[in-house]
């Protein structure tokens, strides 16, 4: 296991992806600056896609996702300032 990596099993994953994401976000340290959401079953997401999404949020965007057929696709990046509890 990488140093600084926390692994946690969500005990009620049947509640859905949103609940699973909320569980993970709730485990983050207070100083976390942003959250990049990518799905494990999408192995063809390129590092450049993640980098470009991060650059968009560093500019004028509050939340960023790459376009795919006119819709926002994965990965998503959310600055932690999006939620009052972070």
Give 25-57 pLDDT, tens digit per residue: 888 887 888 888 888 787 788 888 888 888 887
Quote the tokens at residue 20: 């699973």
Round to the nearest angstrom and report the end-to-end CA distance of the chain.
Answer: 26
pLDDT of residue 9: 92
**C-alpha Rg value of the chain to the nearest Å:** 14
Q: How sure is the predictor about 86, in pLDDT bands with cuts at 50, 70 and 90?
A: very low
Whole-prediction pTM value? 0.67
Half-sphere exposure of 2 (CA within 13 A, CB side): 4
């Amino acid at each position: 296991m990488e140093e600084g990596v926390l692994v946690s099993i969500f005990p009620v994953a049947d509640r859905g992806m949103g609940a699973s994401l909320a569980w993970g976000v709730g485990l983050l340290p207070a100083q976390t600056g942003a959250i990049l959401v990518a799905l494990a079953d999408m192995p063809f997401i390129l590092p450049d896609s993640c980098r470009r999404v991060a650059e968009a949020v560093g500019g004028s965007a509050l939340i960023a996702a790459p376009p795919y057929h006119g819709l926002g696709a994965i990965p998503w990046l959310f600055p932690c300032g999006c939620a009052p509890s972070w």
